[in-house]
Structure 1
């Protein structure tokens, strides 16, 4: 039992690290826990991924992020957040999953993890959304050829690849695998391409127009088989040969964890967690939300650049209460 912590921060992504920095600078006793590696979501981004944001918008703790590119890359971000963690001497326990949060009689919390048990006055939940993919809900989705995560285009050389989706990740997968020798088909639910980085969209549009990448718009997959995929299009059903389905359909936060510990969510599809907009405190006293988790299913609302402020707001609120009680 590790007693007398002021804050446990669940999630060692950029926002969780930002909260740790703020807590340390305020002299609070804190610990950051994460079930994966440091900035686990960024680690799981595609190998060649480039951020839409500039480096200064990804900075935390006022520590400069220098990049050799106009837009920083995945590898640069990993290096930056490692260096920040080391430079600040942050207390981070990685590969340690929080399994339970129990309210004590005195109003503090007992946090149980896969490795230890902790007592804390406050909890900051800064978990991301990259761990649970949005499913297609079609027959055959359980086949090994169906991928919800993408890493390196080389793997798909000389393969027939079907990419589902119309946004940034779908565009990157389609273009990168095509350039590495894959035969690429896209299935897009909407009538046009979606929200794509401005330097990528014209490239993809040109590849589709010239026929290098085949695209079905206002279409959807109806069944996946070992060597084929059925697609429902405006002109009826189309069956194509296929080796891999890249379902770039987005991800969702771990709502079951929030529900398990008692954080209230709206009952609609959006699953917005309820919290005080000024303090970020949930319906559970001294339990706070930070980062993308605040947006429920609207995972496009909160990014590093507009939610890093959550860390400062929450820790300032906690620190002011601690000072008032001392």
Structure 2
């Protein structure tokens, strides 16, 4: 694991809409920041079924007013992913994907050391912007770790005419 000499003003954990929005504000405020994401950009949305219509309104999903323009009233998974990727690229936001935060350590006099699976970062502040599916609540019942059990919404096609149980 490599330690970085760079002192960050802010390290953001999570590159979903909240993390991307925080990075956008940090960049506009001139902060030295970095976002780390254990998965892909907008990872939860990436794992939605292909073609899924997202039932949040556009103004709840867009990062800047008027920037998200779906074909219909509600955006699809693909429209959202395209929007978030385009936003990150257009604004040159500093985001490391496929880098998991392992531990946050408070250091004196002020600040934190953030240990990831790739590096160690020093930051004055840490913002944890992980979504609700980052750590699903398990039921602690036998069989929940089987390969056929999912802890997020998955493509339903493989389950046509099969018995299924949906909890939550």
Instruction: Give the TM bin, normalised by the shorter chain.
Output: 0.7 to 0.9
Partner of 2:30: 27
Partner of 2:12: 9
Please show how residues 1-326 of structure 1 align to structure 2 within 5 Å. 1-62=4-65, 64-157=67-160, 159-164=161-166, 248-249=167-168
Aligned counterparts of 1:98 and 1:89: Cα–Cα separation in 2: 22
Cα shift at 1:63: 5.8
Alignment partner of 1:7: what SS? Answer: strand
Aligned counterparts of 2:8 and 2:66: Cα–Cα separation in 1: 26
CA RMSD of aligned residues (A): 1.9
Q: Which runs of 5+ in 1 are unaligned?
A: 165-247, 250-326
On the 8 A contact 1:97/1:114 being kept in 2, the answer is: yes
Cα shift at 1:125: 0.9
Q: Which runs of 5+ in 2 are unaligned?
A: none
Cα shift at 1:43: 1.0
Aligned counterparts of 1:102 and 1:95: Cα–Cα separation in 2: 21
Cα shift at 1:71: 0.8
- Normalized against structure 2, the TM-score is what? 0.88
Alignment partner of 2:163: what SS? Answer: strand
On the 8 A contact 2:49/2:153 being kept in 1, the answer is: yes
Higher-Rg structure is 1
On the 8 A contact 1:21/1:61 being kept in 2, the answer is: no
Cα shift at 1:135: 3.2
Structure 1 or 2: more helix by fraction? 1
Aligned counterparts of 1:16 and 1:143: Cα–Cα separation in 2: 31
Aligned counterparts of 2:111 and 2:16: Cα–Cα separation in 1: 25
Aligned counterparts of 2:150 and 2:20: Cα–Cα separation in 1: 30
Q: More relative contact order in 1 or in 2 (CA 8 Å, sep 6+)?
A: 2
